Amino acid sequence: MKKLLTLVLALVLVLSVASASAVTLKLSEVHIDGYPTTLADQEFARLVEERTEGRVKIEVYANGSLYGEETGAIEAMQLGDIGFARVSASPVSSYVPAMNAIQMPYLYKSADHMWAVLDGEIGQAMLDEVQASGSGLVGLCWYDSGSRNFYTTTKVEVPADLKGLKIRMQNNAMMVDMTNVLGGVGVTGIGPNDIYSAITQGTIDGAENNWPTYYTKGDYEAATFFCLDGHTRVPEILLASEAVLAELDEADVEIIKQCAKETQEFEKAEWAKMEAEAEAAVRANGNTIIEPTAEQVALFQEAMTTPSDVLGGVSLYEKYGKDYQDVIDAIKAVGDAM
């Protein structure tokens, strides 16, 4: 009897110590369940729980249910209010300015070019820069997000067609300027779940994104012209809160970093499937898909390096790239070698 009592007490002690040291952390995601990044977040959560033997649990809040705007999630991580967020690298530039260097317009020749950069020294240096910049954030890994294209309620084939059109942009000054330089009017402050209604209400004339977001957010039903100008390749990034990680055991932080890296290939495979599915669905819906000729794409591209009145007489590359010219040149060199 005494033995049994001792055993029960020991068990209670073990259980309470275990539960006292287990933490549950939130991860914010703007995409719906089933979207490649959401699936990757969930895989990340599963791996972390398994490898930390339950010490770290991660709850994924999809579809912007925690923060409808990614800047909200980023600021919550800086304050230590949430542990993680999967966001686009675009809004991260407002907190880590060097981040623009890897998402300059028309920088990459292809997805393979971008991945050669992100998987190499430049990509790792940029992930390290997230924390080194003092942002209060930790960069864990990259995910694919294809290329971004304008979608509008009227036909856009060349920059002149964007004249005066109000285009919803991500919260990134360079991206707003990109649209302004092309002749449009970049508009911010509209979260990805509010674009559809902003278009139908006439607040904006369009937005820009990849095939899967255009499709899954339903925007393809509001703005039916999709112009494949491919202006940017903006990778997704999985971020952690520096303050939250500081509360964990170092060994668990290492496990978290390792698990994140392992989900990168998982997301890329899901991405490839979803990109093809979304394109097929949008085409089947009868949307007008504009495939600009090489000469027409060149008009978009040239506007990025041409001095512009909109930018006080300098070009977009000069304004946003000049402090990171070495990184931009190195990215181009990776492409030239391919």
List the strands of the sheet with 148-152, edge to edge: 185-187, 166-168, 206-209, 148-152, 225-232, 288-290
Nearest distance from C-beta of residue 88 to ligand BDP, angstroms: 4
Q: Which residue is nearest to ligand BDP (CB)?
A: 88
x-or-dash string of contact with ligand BDP, 34-63, rule CB under 6 A: ------------------------------
> 244 with 59: CB under 8 angstroms?
no
Candidate list 41, 70, 161, 267; residue touching ligand BDP; CB under 6 A: 70
* 88 counts as binding ligand BDP under rule CB under 6 A: yes
Nearest distance from C-beta of residue 334 to ligand BDP, angstroms: 23
Q: Which of residues 192-251 bind ligand BDP (CB under 6 A)?
A: 192, 209-210, 213, 236
**How many degrees, rounded to 5, is the angle at CA 56 between CA 52 and CA 59?**
130
Alpha-helix residue ranges (DSSP H) falling in the chain: 2-21, 36-51, 70-78, 89-92, 111-118, 121-132, 173-181, 195-200, 211-216, 242-246, 250-284, 294-303, 316-321, 325-336
Nearest distance from C-beta of residue 189 to ligand BDP, angstroms: 11
Q: Which of residues 153-192 bind ligand BDP (CB under 6 A)?
A: 170, 192
Dihedral over Cα of 277, 31, 248, 15: its sign = negative
Q: Which of residues 16-35 bind ligand BDP (CB under 6 A)?
A: 30
Nearest distance from C-beta of residue 163 to ligand BDP, angstroms: 22
3-state secondary structure of 138: strand
State the residues that interact with ligand BDP by CB under 6 A: 30, 70, 87-88, 145, 170, 192, 209-210, 213, 236
